[in-house]
Amino acid sequence: MRRCVISLAALCSLIACSAHAQPPLLQSSVPGAFSVRYLTDRAIVSATVAAPEGSDAATYTLRVRLPERVQWGYLGRELLPQDAFGWDATGSRATVDLPFGTTRLHLGWAGDPCLPPESAQVPLMVGAEQAGSLRALFSLEGMEATGRATGIGPGIADISLALADDINPEAVSVTIDSATADDWRAVEGGLITAAPLIIGPDPLLTLRARSRNLTASPIERVVIENVRPATATSRVPGDAMPEGAVLVEAEDFSDAGGTPVRVEPGSHHDASGNACVFTFIGDGSWLEWKVTLPTDGLWDLYARAACGDIGAWRVISVDGETPAGLELVEFPGTGGWARGPGQWWLMRITGGEGQPGPLELAAGEHTIRMRGVLDRHLNMDYLLLAPH
């Protein structure tokens, strides 16, 4: 019986419109919807073909052009026996009979037959304790694994990866909440982040590894190490302004980035200078202030702030450097956003009991930057630098 071969050239954008008389990339004995994708070792064909009305055939025939002779094939996740496909050397085409319906076919011409695993679990540790696991999904280009660590954060921490296989560190990244680490140092048996990461409460982690033809996770486990809690600010008794303090209004910021903050005179209750900064979001947005100090010496940083949430977190840097302990600073909830009285609190950030030490600063202009992290808003009225 002569088969009715229907050219699908018009259906497939991958089919070269060559002037040379090459056979099309795909030919099917029954029309349907097809796509074909070529990788370095295989072609992957997705096909949806319905049995013709009145036909009692169980299969149809697909011809797929390959650069080299077909060596192996998978139908779905099932390895096809060698006699399941033929080879038309003249047209450089593999021939395979497929069942009607929706199928996915891999036809390989190089290497050993392999399919990425369907899924895997990668343990997520906090120190030596398991705090969760990442569910890994694979593609031919790599792996993506996601999961949550429970019972930790907020704080800062290092992330290390125990490796099951050699992998190029440049092909690996970890995203925690919204921050991504892709700069690694090699340590024995694995990798560790080059800089600490901020982690939120019960952080969500996504591990990505770009590597072709993985047969298992190249990462044996993910470890959150050296967890340091956020540095707590302390409310100044009576919100009394310390002596000799240099004040800079929050609304007089000199530079800003990210989501614009709002400043509207008279917007909030009892604001110094009749204005404050609000809608200062913890989405990586930042503000910068210039402060001019009269003398060299040890200075402490304060901020008058209001937070109607459970608290808010900021990264604070001075003249472009983040002093130890200011990598993650926690402001408490003050009972409201200062639309009413008693909700602006003067918070001490350095030099208090159990706090990071005072800042050693020379006379002259300095730049203070605050960057919002972990999604929480903070309203700010002013900053102070006061002699320690």
- What are the two backbone dihedrals, phi and then psi, of residue 253, each rounded to the nearest 5 degrees? -60, 150
Q: Tell me if 273 contacts Ca ion by CB under 5 A.
A: yes
Q: Beta strand 119-126 with 129-139: parallel, antiparallel or unpaired?
A: antiparallel
Q: How far is the CB of 274 from Ca ion (least distance, A)?
A: 8
Which region among 81-89, 222-230, 260-268, 276-284 touches Ca ion (by CB under 5 A)?
276-284
> Can residue 381 be called a binding residue for Ca ion (CB under 5 A)?
yes
- Is there binding between residue 330 and Ca ion (CB under 5 A)? no
Cβ 263 to Ca ion shortest distance, Å: 9
* 164 neighbors 323 (Cβ within 8 angstroms): no
Task: Compare residues 138 and 382 and give the one whose CB is closer to Ca ion.
Answer: 382
Please give the structure tokens belonging to residue 130: 């398991």
Contacts of 312 (CB under 8 A, 6+ apart): 282, 305, 330, 331, 372, 374, 376, 377, 378
| Binding status of residue 146 toward Ca ion by CB under 5 A | no
Q: Which stretch binds Ca ion (CB under 5 A): 173-181, 329-337, 357-365, 378-386?
A: 378-386
State the binding string over 224-263 for Ca ion (x if CB under 5 A, else -): -------------------------x--------------
CB of 309 to Ca ion, least distance (A): 20
Residue 269 binds Ca ion (CB under 5 A): no
Within residues 338-377, the interface with Ca ion by CB under 5 A covers none
Gap between the Cα atoms of 166 and 80, Å rounded: 30
Decide whether 178 or 272 has the Cβ nearer to Ca ion.
272
Question: How far is residue 4's CA from residue 342's CA, in Å, rounded to a whole number?
Answer: 84
Q: For residue 345, which of 257, 232, 259 has the smallest C-alpha distance?
A: 232
| Smallest separation, CB 346 to Ca ion (Å) | 12
Cβ proximity to Ca ion, 191 vs 276, nearer residue: 276
The residue (of 208 and 269) whose beta carbon lies closer to Ca ion is 269
Number of chain residues interacting with Ca ion (CB under 5 A): 7
Instruction: Find the angle CA(217)-CA(218)-CA(224) to the nearest 5 degrees.
Output: 90
Instruction: Classify 84 as helix, strand or coil.
Output: helix
Distance (Å, whole) CA 222 – CA 216? 15
Q: What is the contact surface with Ca ion in residues (CB under 5 A)? A: 249, 271-273, 276, 381-382
